[in-house]
């Protein structure tokens, strides 16, 4: 499993008060961020995670690199919603923070949640992507309920990517309106998948029987059975909803 230092950037802008995700954008984002923390720290015991917020008077470092999930969860739950967001500045600060990580053998990764209409041109996002690529920083972007953001966010991901299409180390995930929560979409995405997993689908075996959380890379159900069970139930609900929207065709007579 990869040894990584990850910085999670939370979007705590006023847009996240909206209730179009269950129960709100903000609480759905908090749940998804906790799942990422759990996955990253269990994929490798020496991997670490930090937390930043991007909205308010300034982008703020909330927690420096640690592998203590309790500290990470507590930090995420106590970030207040506050004002407008500055995504590009937050990414630049996160990159500088990772540059000063204690363990230089850790790969560098930024995971950023985007739940507001972003500012800036595609060139601005490509410039930041080039900066990340130059400093060997991978980025995962999770956009939710803002389809107008997609082109610019894909630009930063594509520019920062240091691999080919089959071996991309950067990922873009769009969570469209109508999904019940962010985790339902994220759990089967490359965001939770180690770069060393050879393309196996994350969470592909969940809900097929057995202990909750089995088959989710990076999540040990024995470490946090409540979280594993919640993820299993969430994925089952998502699969059931998809089956209802796409019923099987009748067999030919």
**pLDDT tens digits, one per residue of 114-142:** 999 999 999 999 999 999 999 999 999 99
| Nearest-10 Cα torsion for 141, 115, 201, 225 | 120
* CA gap 136, 116 in Å, rounded: 27
Residue 206 has pLDDT above 90, yes or no: no
User: Pick the residue with more confidence: 98 or 208?
Assistant: 98
In words, the CATH class of domain 4-201 is alpha beta
Of the candidates 121, 116, 181, 109, the one whose C-alpha atom is nearest the C-alpha of residue 143 is 116
C-alpha distance across the termini of the chain, in Å = 50
The domain locations on the chain are 4-201
Across the chain, mean pLDDT equals 83
Q: What are the φ/ψ torsions at residue 140 (nearest 5 degrees)?
A: -115, 130
Residue 18 token pair: 């909206």
User: Pick the residue with more confidence: 205 or 45?
Assistant: 45
Query: Are 28 and 205 contacting, i.e. CB atoms less than 8 angstroms apart?
Result: no
Q: Which residue has the tokens 């610019």?
A: 152
């Amino acid at each position: 499993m990869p040894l990584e230092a990850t910085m999670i950037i939370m979007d705590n802008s006023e847009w996240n008060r909206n209730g179009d995700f269950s129960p709100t954008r903000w609480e759905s984002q908090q749940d998804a961020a906790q799942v990422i923390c759990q996955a990253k720290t269990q994929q490798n015991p020496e991997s670490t995670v930090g937390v930043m917020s991007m909205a308010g008077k300034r982008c703020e470092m909330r927690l420096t690199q640690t592998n203590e999930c309790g500290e990470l969860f507590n930090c995420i739950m106590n970030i207040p919603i506050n004002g407008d967001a500055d995504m590009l500045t937050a990414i630049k600060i996160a990159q500088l923070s990772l540059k000063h990580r204690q363990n230089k053998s850790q790969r560098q990764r930024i995971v950023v949640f985007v739940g507001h209409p972003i500012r800036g041109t595609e060139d601005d996002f490509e410039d930041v992507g080039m900066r990340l690529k130059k400093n060997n920083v991978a980025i995962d972007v999770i956009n939710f309920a803002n389809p107008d953001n997609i082109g610019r966010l894909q630009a930063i991901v594509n520019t920062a990517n240091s691999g080919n299409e089959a071996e991309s180390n950067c990922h873009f995930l769009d969570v469209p309106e109508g999904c019940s929560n962010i985790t339902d979409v994220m759990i089967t995405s490359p965001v939770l998948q180690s770069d060393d997993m050879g393309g196996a689908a994350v969470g592909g075996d969940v809900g097929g029987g057995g202990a909750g959380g089995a088959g989710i890379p990076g999540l040990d159900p024995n470490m946090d059975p409540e979280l594993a069970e919640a993820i299993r139930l969430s994925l089952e609900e998502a699969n059931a909803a998809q089956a209802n929207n796409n019923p099987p065709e009748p067999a030919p007579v």
